């Protein structure tokens, strides 16, 4: 832009036969004006949060260890509770203050309502039409109503309270038997993960799905999903060479996992559809799949509850709960 402006000015002065001294003065004035304009333009931009020194291309990726939340915590202690890091070519805002989090999540929640949807999340959660990755709008509000009034209502949570209590008693009994038999130490993290899988399967799919066959299969699939969501992807950090994901095997793993998850959910939904007519409205506690299929079949939801939307809602809800446990284990 500067080069073009100089050419235009020189041509203008040549056409009007200005003196050499005037031409020199005008050129200096132009350069000075451009310098001041650039400075003012930069100063008028929004001030960005502090950022740790970054390397070309990779940004701050080299400063993240195997536990990113701890790395972010260390960087926050050094640079402030609100900082900007560059994950490759993607800028990321890191917040480590509950006061700022309150401003973002409560005071200005509509501004920050939309969440970044990775390529893996888009594939695994059927386009992201559920509560977490769906853009803030009418669809998001209707999905939220389904969660609040149907899936996570106080009545349903109370109905499943006995199931949760029973599983906790079973876990405590296992710990007691291990202690009495001298089989210590007990892997509490693994035990909590197993019991959570059972509780989630019973809540989402029904009591018969909390057994070994379905429980172990869903547990394995959930671990594969979590690994893919946290795995390195060129497409996310370096979009201009996103095609590298094909050569690293990331795309193949993503496709394989999605096919397994989709087949599992198709089987669960088909079994529920086959038994819906035989279930009593009053005598049987309905799981999440029953509730969503009932809303879909009776047109009671304010949105089009396609099977893909139902799968995304169910799957993301369970994976989110499992990820919370993983974060607690790594804290």
DSSP string, 63-88: G--SSHHHHHHHHHHHH-SEEEEEET
Other beta carbons within 10 angstroms of residue 75's beta carbon come to: 20
How confident is the model at residue 15, as a pLDDT? 44
Q: How many whole angstroms separate alpha carbon 71 and alpha carbon 317? A: 27
Average pLDDT taken over every residue of the chain: 78
Tokens 């070309």 — which residue? 56
Question: Which domains, ranges and CATH numbers included, belong to the chain?
Answer: 61-112 (no CATH), 138-330 (1.10.630.10)
Q: Name the more confident of 17 and 53.
A: 53
Binned at pLDDT 50, 70 and 90, residue 204 comes out as: confident
How confident is the model at residue 22, as a pLDDT? 42
Is residue 61 within 8 Å of residue 237, measured between CB atoms?
yes
Q: How many whole angstroms separate alpha carbon 73 and alpha carbon 79? A: 10
**Cis link prior to 119 (omega < 30° from 0)?**
no
pLDDT tens digit sequence for 71-102: 998 999 999 999 999 988 888 889 988 888 88
Binned at pLDDT 50, 70 and 90, residue 133 comes out as: confident
How confident is the model at residue 295, as a pLDDT? 87
- Across 248-274, average pLDDT: 92
Binned at pLDDT 50, 70 and 90, residue 33 comes out as: very low
How confident is the model at residue 280, as a pLDDT? 53
Rounded to whole angstroms, what are the CA distances from 325 to 81, 217, 320?
A: 25, 18, 9
Binned at pLDDT 50, 70 and 90, residue 277 comes out as: low
Is residue 52 within 8 Å of residue 83, measured between CB atoms?
yes
Question: Could you tell me where the DSSP H helices lie in the chain?
Answer: 2-15, 20-44, 68-79, 98-102, 119-124, 138-146, 154-159, 161-180, 188-204, 212-230, 234-237, 244-248, 250-275, 288-298, 307-330
Q: Vertex 177, ends 176 and 181: CA angle to 5°?
A: 120
Claim: this prediction has a pTM higher than 0.85: no
């Amino acid at each position: 832009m500067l080069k073009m402006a100089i050419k235009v000015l020189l041509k203008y002065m040549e056409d009007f036969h200005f003196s050499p001294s005037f031409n020199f003065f005008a050129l200096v004035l132009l350069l000075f004006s451009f310098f001041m304009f650039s400075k003012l333009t930069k100063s008028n931009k929004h001030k960005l949060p502090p950022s740790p020194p970054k390397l070309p291309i990779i940004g701050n990726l080299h400063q993240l260890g195997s536990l990113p939340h701890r790395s972010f915590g260390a960087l926050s202690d050094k640079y402030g509770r609100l900082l900007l890091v560059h994950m490759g070519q993607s800028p990321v805002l890191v917040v480590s203050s509950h006061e700022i989090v309150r401003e973002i999540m409560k005071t200005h929640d509509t501004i920050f309502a939309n969440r970044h949807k990775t390529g893996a999340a888009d594939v695994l959660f059927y386009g992201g039409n559920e509560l977490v990755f769906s853009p803030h709008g009418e669809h998001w509000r209707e999905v939220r109503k389904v969660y609040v009034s149907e899936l996570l209502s106080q009545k349903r949570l109370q109905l499943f309270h006995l199931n949760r209590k029973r599983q906790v008693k079973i876990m405590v009994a296992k710990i007691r038997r291990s202690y009495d038999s001298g089989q210590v130490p007990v892997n509490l993290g693994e035990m909590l993960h197993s019991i959570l899988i059972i509780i989630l399967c019973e809540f989402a799919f029904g009591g018969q799905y909390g057994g070994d066959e379905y429980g172990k299969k869903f547990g394995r699939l959930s671990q594969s999903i979590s690994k893919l969501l946290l795995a390195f992807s060129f497409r996310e950090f370096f979009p201009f060479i996103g095609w590298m994901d094909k050569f690293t095997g990331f795309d193949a793993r993503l496709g394989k996992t999605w096919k397994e998850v989709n087949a599992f959910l198709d089987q669960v939904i088909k079994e529920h559809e086959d038994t819906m007519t035989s279930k009593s409205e009053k005598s049987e506690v309905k799981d999440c799949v029953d509730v969503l299929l009932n809303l879909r079949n009776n047109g009671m939801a304010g949105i089009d509850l396609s099977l893909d939307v139902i799968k995304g809602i169910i799957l993301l809800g369970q994976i989110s709960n499992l990820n919370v446990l993983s974060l607690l284990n790594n804290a």
